[in-house]
Structure 1
Amino acid sequence: MKNVFSSGDLVTGNISFELTKETKITLISIKMKGGVAVHWSTGGGKNRRHYSAKEEFFLLEGVIMQESGGMLLLDFPSSFRGAHGVIAYTLTVGINRPWHMTKSFVTELNFISHIDINQPLLWAPHSGSNSKTVCCLWCASGPITMTVSLNKKAFCPGETVKVICQFSNASTRTVTPTLKLQLKHRYYTYQRVRPRILSQTLASVTGESVRAQTSDVYTELMLTIPSSASISISNCSIIEVDYILQVSLGMKASLDLVVLFPIILYEASAYSYPPLTL
């Protein structure tokens, strides 16, 4: 039995035995379940507070007959393991023998949720711009501007992202562009108040500096998404996984100039057909 499934897949497989003697088996049962759980704590000592929530997606139980059957997986959130939560799917086979305790064999399934990748917005070009004027005491230099474009919004782990940038630096300072892939995990309780949010930079690349008093500088920033990155999760009530591409212009003694692009990571192996291209 393969260990990677997606919505609409029929989970089928074989159970085999290696016996050293004749064995009587009265029942072989099967159980499949999926669910999500989160937990974190704040403070210390008497002020320590715990936050937790659980949700069961499904629990299917049955008896294996002579003919092989299957269980149809609906669209639930993808398998996930994070610092404060887990989304897990397991398949348990139980074997009953006379005068013996039931013996269970558990296999964890890697479930991949289908994302509607045929949304035109995911494959359309995106752009953003920002500008600022750098001040030093009572003097103000010329503006720093940047315009950034991205050819699409949906990507796969392992794919290389290309960002096209145009910079104009009318200030007296040298500025340096950086492209970062930011991961954000959000964990919620049932009331969805005071969520636990964890942010992490998964990858970054720095481009060539833009000298002072230069304009219309074009550059391409290339960043490879780590192949180990989990896919986006937005269809779970207590866990969310989001990704943001951040393009920034860094300069001394001043806040960075930033443009943000929310993106979607999806698993290409979950689809038997190519995504819509425009």
Structure 2
Amino acid sequence: MVIYLFIYFVNGSYSEGNTIVGTVSFRLTKEVKVKSLSVKAKGDVKAEWTEGTGYFQITHTAKRRYFKVKEYLIAKNGTVLPKGVHTFSMPSSFKGVYGKIVYMFEAKMSRSWWRPSKVKKKINFISKTFQQFWEVMVNTALTRHPQSGTVSKNIGGLSQGRVQMSATTDRNVCTPGETISVVAKICNSSSKNTRPKFKLEQKTVFRCNESTKKWVMNLFKEVGETISPNSERTVSCQLKIPDDAISTIHNCEIISVEYYIKVLNNFLVTSHPLRNKTALTNNNNSLQVSQFLTVSQVYLDISFAVDPEVVFPLVIVPSRFAAIQPGEAVEPHPPGTTVVTS
């Protein structure tokens, strides 16, 4: 009987062209005739979502297999293995894999009259396109260069005037856990109060034939102090990239992941809430209006299409690639182990 079966990778992550090096081990409590022992590596990407309800419900699905490699450590004709610990090297390899896909390594032992024993371990795959991208950036002196943008809007209606905003970031490429410095200079020549906002957005797009599905998530948000009418102010923000942020994905036809830094200047709408609804109802109109106006003003932070906004694209790359120089080899991450019992 198989007590346990586990996979051990010498390296914790792999890229195109690397060889998977590791160990498949299992312990037997008695002599067992094994029909076969195989290892399999594969990479897949899949997107799926549903639209509509009832008879009008449509499911969109797109998938692609990038590779599948299978090797037999013990041939199909079977062999008898004695009691004890058994160890085999894993010779399988892969290359040319792109995008946010699932890479899985599976070891399977088949026995007569027994259900197969399996163990699976995800392969931490990091595409070499990041290394190529980084080398191009280094060679063209574009790595981590500052970004700047300016927007100006004339405001009509009750908030007549002009609002101008200039914003800068200290880099266009970063790694998870880093902090980006963002500075905005705002000239508020309108008659309304405004309030600056800084955001980091992650936009994921899923594609299936002609259909697309977008998912936008805010990873960071900071709101600045109110800027009075006819005034000017310079505000700054230290934007922290989450430690668990996934890398930008731009080389997969089914799924893409992009990041944007947004600097906004929202107009604040003045509201006068009722303090005592019962008293106002029982009094005449003149008293009602008087009491209404004595209540302190409340500013509602509402986003409008007219709000000035500067958007900066941001590329997030793995830390291991951001530290390399052109032509330098990349060392994989520390090893990991998966154990399963049966």
Aligned-residue Cα RMSD (Å) equals 2.4
Report the counterpart of residue 268 of structure 2 in structure 1: 252
Gaps of 5+ in 1: 80-86
Q: TM-score, normalised by structure 2?
A: 0.70
Please tell me whether residue 133 in structure 1 is matched to residue 179 in structure 2. no
Please tell me whether residue 76 in structure 1 is matched to residue 97 in structure 2. yes
Residues paired across the two proteins, number: 264
Q: Determine if contact 2:220/2:240 at 8 Å carries over to the other structure.
A: yes
Report the counterpart of residue 16 of structure 1 in structure 2: 25
Could you give the per-residue CA deviations for residues 70-118 of structure 1, whole angstroms, max 9, x where no partner exists? Answer: 3334242354xxxxxxx21111112234554543222122222231223
Q: CA–CA distance in 1 between the matches of 2:94 and 2:53?
A: 42
Please tell me whether residue 29 in structure 1 is matched to residue 38 in structure 2. yes
Gaps of 5+ in 2: 1-8, 75-86, 270-303, 328-342
Report the counterpart of residue 82 of structure 1 in structure 2: none
Please tell me whether residue 168 in structure 1 is matched to residue 187 in structure 2. yes
Matches within 5 A, 1:147-158: 147-158=166-177
Q: TM-score, normalised by structure 1?
A: 0.85
Q: CA–CA distance in 1 between the matches of 2:203 and 2:238?
A: 21
Deviation (angstroms), 1:212: 2.2
Q: Determine if contact 1:125/1:150 at 8 Å carries over to the other structure.
A: yes
Please tell me whether residue 212 in structure 1 is matched to residue 221 in structure 2. no
Specify the SS of the correspondent of 2:249: coil
Structure 1 residues 188 and 103, CA, compared in 2 at 3 Å: closer, same or farther?
same
Q: CA–CA distance in 2 between the matches of 1:221 and 1:124?
A: 18
Q: CA–CA distance in 2 between the matches of 1:176 and 1:29?
A: 62
Q: CA–CA distance in 2 between the matches of 1:219 and 1:117?
A: 31
Specify the SS of the correspondent of 1:46: helix
**Range that drifts further, 50-59 or 89-98:** 89-98
Between Structure 1 and Structure 2, which shows a larger proportion of helix residues?
2
Q: CA–CA distance in 1 between the matches of 2:322 and 2:145?
A: 20
Q: Determine if contact 2:134/2:321 at 8 Å carries over to the other structure.
A: no
Q: CA–CA distance in 1 between the matches of 2:268 and 2:31?
A: 79
Structure 1 residues 275 and 129, CA, compared in 2 at 3 Å: closer, same or farther?
farther
Identity across the alignment (%): 26
Structure 1 residues 43 and 99, CA, compared in 2 at 3 Å: closer, same or farther?
closer
**Range that drifts further, 33-42 or 165-174:** 165-174
Of 108, 111, 127, which aligns to 2:125?
111
Could you give the per-residue CA deviations for residues 230-274 of structure 1, whole angstroms, max 9, x where no partner exists? Answer: 211111111111111111001125532100011111111356725
Q: CA–CA distance in 2 between the matches of 1:243 and 1:272?
A: 21
Structure 1 residues 270 and 31, CA, compared in 2 at 3 Å: closer, same or farther?
farther
Asked which structure has the greater CA Rg, the reply is 2
Q: CA–CA distance in 1 between the matches of 2:15 and 2:103?
A: 12
Q: CA–CA distance in 2 between the matches of 1:272 and 1:208?
A: 37
- Structure of higher RCO (CA pairs closer than 8 Å, 6+ residues apart): 2
Report the counterpart of residue 315 of structure 2 in structure 1: 264
Q: CA–CA distance in 2 between the matches of 1:70 and 1:161?
A: 43
**Range that drifts further, 94-103 or 232-241:** 94-103
